[in-house]
Structure 1
């Protein structure tokens, strides 16, 4: 088995802080292992539950994966419901998210975005969320995140990873980016989905292929064709997502002149004050404000027509692995 090169060449792996914090990371991983060990007592739903999770903390592409999978299942005539925890500040639930009725600060930006594609529920208690979806007629439930949460039995677990970042320095929080060790997570995963361009995919397999103990699929995020001509447009882009640099690269790849890139905290509230500051800066540069779909749902109403959005969709290179796994669980 090949030892991941990140362990030798990543700046994080050589950082004295990561080495100093390694014992705390080991304890964090041990705590995750103990929590996951209680999975046998989890609630067994009457319909299949597909978990779209990760072992990295932060953004890996779970939301676009959930949307892509929901669209795939719906195209096959399957009644799909999504269950999410929401985020800090959102309602306790279980609550069905409605686009025209709810705002991001009530239900979370990701659930609000996903609700445009399939019935979506938020619930701090995942069991209650799953039961609400069951009662509403779901034939398959997509559980957004929760791979390390043992309260609900997962029929199928898809672990999502960014192919560029990989598993970082392979250490657990706070010494690294992981919620649990790679090998432990891969043993429980049914499918690994890596997201990134072809060069990143090749590097990911080179570095981490020896740790992957489950079927592996790959995908990439592709801008949705909306008819907007980005070529030569001067823009100020801002993003409050897990990996904002990926969005900024997408904007540049579309041909826009990225004059300024503002990386915000994940889920950061887009207050009137913040948006006015960005608008003033954009005006001084002669630039158009641009953001992500996920950020767009958090915009104040007065700014919705003044900010352009770059929607992206997940494209799997091969659906066979996921289609086959879903066919199996539907046949049981």
Structure 2
């Protein structure tokens, strides 16, 4: 026989659940939460699926990291298929590509990789091109990993070379960064701190490392076959030319700074990448990385889904990292 509802002590019930089952935990006086976040996320996902709240989930939480697992769980719970979820995520993600600079980046990645010989899907090639470009695409490696793990490993192997390349192109390189990479430089400065004021010494050390990175980048670009022949041949040739040009470094500060600017111009020219595209606002950088994060999440949701129409997924993958006419 059930007790009279009026005689039930709610606080006692909560304490019993907390002590005996461990499902709920009192975080503060009178405030309870689930002891395991996974359980909370699962119940949230189940509620969203049961009550057909996909629209609000995507519209309000697509780029919120703390909702990531809920998206993936929802995709797995949708027994009727996750097509609608993925398509809504795609449409919402595309809204982040809302300026000419962002559209130009995607147009460039498509043009530079179209018809290239690498054995990767077009979307993966476009993500690789964006990674190699000078764009501030912080989330691009995660997307590449989701689209094609093999290509991700190839790019990850040159990520340090790209960092060296970018840092060496600045008028005042970050010495802490280079000391961490060049033990000889770190050791020399520790024994003789006056070397910190020796611009010629620092410059020569940085560009010795830079030349090695140029060789690594040129070799990787040829091997991965991400870019089509026009871009690949031009980029490889220009990078090798840069290496030869840096073999004899002029001592004057003005000449060294001119060389740095020349390197930057040559890099952009080799990629057919307009440097004006990088005159981005903070909002544009945020939009790009929200867009990349959303696309990576789309791939992860597809992997978790019980059922996705092959035709629907083929369309999403074909459109990924491209500008949809009339959108954005």
What is the TM-score with the length of structure 1 in the denominator? Answer: 0.23
Higher Cα Rg: structure 1 or 2? 2
Q: Which has the higher strand share?
A: 1
What is the TM-score with the length of structure 2 in the denominator? Answer: 0.23
Query: Could you say which structure has the greater relative contact order, defined with CA pairs below 8 angstroms and 6 or more residues apart?
Result: 2
